[in-house]
Amino acid sequence: MSDEQIQVKTRELYAQLTGKISLPCTLHVSGTGNLASYYPVTPLVAASVALAGITVSQLLALRNGKHDTVTVDRRLASLWCKTSIRPDGWDIPPAWDSLAGDYATADGWIRLHTNAPVHRKAVETLLGKAENREALALRVLMWKKAELEQALVQAGGCAAQMLSPQEWQQHVQGKSLIAEPLFQHSLSVKAAPPQWELSPQRPLAGVKVLDLTRIIAGPVATRFLAGLGADVLRIDPFGWDEPSQEADVTPGKHCTRLNLHNPQDRHRFEELLRDADVIVHGYRAGALHKLGYGSEQRRTIAPGLVDVCLNAYGWNGPWRERRGFDSLVQMSCGIAEQGMQKSGSQKPVPLPVQALDHATGYLMAAAVLQGLAQRVETGQGSETRLSLARTARELMENNPQADNEPPIGSTGQADYSVEPEHTVWGTGWRLRPPVWLENSRLVWEFPASPLGSAPAIWR
């Protein structure tokens, strides 16, 4: 029954992406287990991975006329949502800042996101410097959750009060998502026909992907594209680091830095964009426009561009420009509250992994692949928008988690590739790919690398 749930969900996602009801190829589901959750996390994640694989099959069929069967492993798809690499003799830094987390307020709960120094500074400016969570908790307790959320957002911070699903549905931003599709897709100008080979061995060889994404969904999308052979160049601003994520999301990518406020770096960025086939970005709505690189400007610089973008809370409504992360969206839309209610806990209970990020990442990869197929067929570029909040709705509207699958536990050696990955941090073992085609496999050509470790050039 649970495998059927993945099959059904994959067909639903494919219909939302393409408008077509039937899958173009055969889909097999392998593996066993579910991540323990009150929501169908494993079925949604596995279906999102499957959709990405199906769009690979669809793209390759434009060259060879044959749709390869796609196989998704539900266990591996779930494990990739934790971490994809197991270090051998070295450690990955903690995922969370010491002050990040859920705090009781005078009338409920709020989550503070302090991983970025600027976001921690906003908390400490408003609430005072805190040596530890216990000291900060006493100050948070004096606030009402809505007032503290608003104050921190106005101060440039990141926070989300805990709402129930019903409260979110009545919230002005929740209402704005009702009519918002999972994939907001539009076609743009035509360009010269692409010369991509589209070989089964390296489906995206020769495809240049400009990656302007950060934690976590966007990097998951571009990691998938890199595994298909795309030339992925990730660009970060100076001073931005993700020490807990780099080894996980950068295999097969080159990572550089540019300051888009600097004229010389802007010129270099425009040169890179002009040669790009794809741009994937996770800037808040309007942020690139303010830098002079809105949708129209990107299309002018790079006609035929496949443009896929993400934000946290959706592309309509007053929160379209609000900073947000998976853990915050879970608080806002009612996932954490439902977990608390169903478990009988006295505090928020989120999903067992950052599933909104990971599922959305694979949906973004599928949108890129669909855009590449349209480019091959019609010569037209495209723009597709997704959001974490809209993915949350996809999860919450699903049937409850099927209970006939065993829980997915910790990884074993059989879950990892037989060859080690030699990174600058040390040797590690990468999980086996969660999806494959008859003649195509995800293969990352070089190991993960630190942000800013490469020049700003296409290879």
Residue 285 binned pLDDT confidence (cut-offs 50, 70, 90): confident
Q: Lay out the sheet containing 101-105: strands in order across.
A: 101-105, 108-113, 158-161
Q: Is residue 427 predicted with pLDDT exceeding 80?
A: yes
Question: What backbone torsions phi and psi does residue 30 show, to the nearest 5 degrees?
Answer: -120, 180
Q: Is residue 353 predicted with pLDDT exceeding 60?
A: yes
| pLDDT, position 401 | 65
| pLDDT, position 286 | 82
Q: Is residue 1 predicted with pLDDT exceeding 50?
A: no
Side-chain half-sphere CA neighbours of 6 within 13 A: 29
pLDDT average, residue stretch 178-204: 94
Closest C-alpha among 247, 185, 101, 95 to residue 374: 185
Query: What is the Cα–Cα distance from 435 to 208, expressed in whole angstroms?
Result: 22
| pLDDT, position 403 | 65
pLDDT digit string, tens, across residues 343-352: 999 999 999 9
Full set of structural domains in the chain with CATH: 1-92+178-314+353-441 (3.40.50.10540), 103-158 (no CATH)
Q: Is residue 330 predicted with pLDDT exceeding 80?
A: yes
pLDDT digit string, tens, across residues 90-106: 999 999 999 999 999 99
Closest C-alpha among 161, 179, 113, 172 to residue 390: 179
Residues 121, 125, 129, CA angle at the centre, nearest 5°? 80
Question: What backbone torsions phi and psi does residue 165 show, to the nearest 5 degrees?
Answer: -55, -40
* Terminal-residue alpha carbon distance, the chain: 46
pLDDT digit string, tens, across residues 400-416: 666 678 999 899 999 99
Q: Is residue 388 predicted with pLDDT exceeding 70?
A: yes
Q: Is residue 170 predicted with pLDDT exceeding 50?
A: yes
Provide, rounded to the nearest whole percent, the portion of the chain with pLDDT above 90: 94
- 9 neighbors 43 (Cβ within 8 angstroms): yes
Strand partners, 231: 208
- 153 neighbors 324 (Cβ within 8 angstroms): no
- 44 neighbors 394 (Cβ within 8 angstroms): yes
| pLDDT, position 399 | 63
Q: Is residue 397 predicted with pLDDT exceeding 80?
A: yes
| pLDDT, position 82 | 96
Q: Is 382 exposed, middle or buried (CB count within 10 Å of its CB: 0-12, 13-18, 19+)?
A: buried
pLDDT average, residue stretch 315-340: 96
pLDDT average, residue stretch 417-421: 97
pLDDT average, residue stretch 206-214: 97
ω before 216 within 30° of 0 (cis)? Answer: yes
Average pLDDT, the chain: 96
Q: Is residue 382 predicted with pLDDT exceeding 70?
A: yes
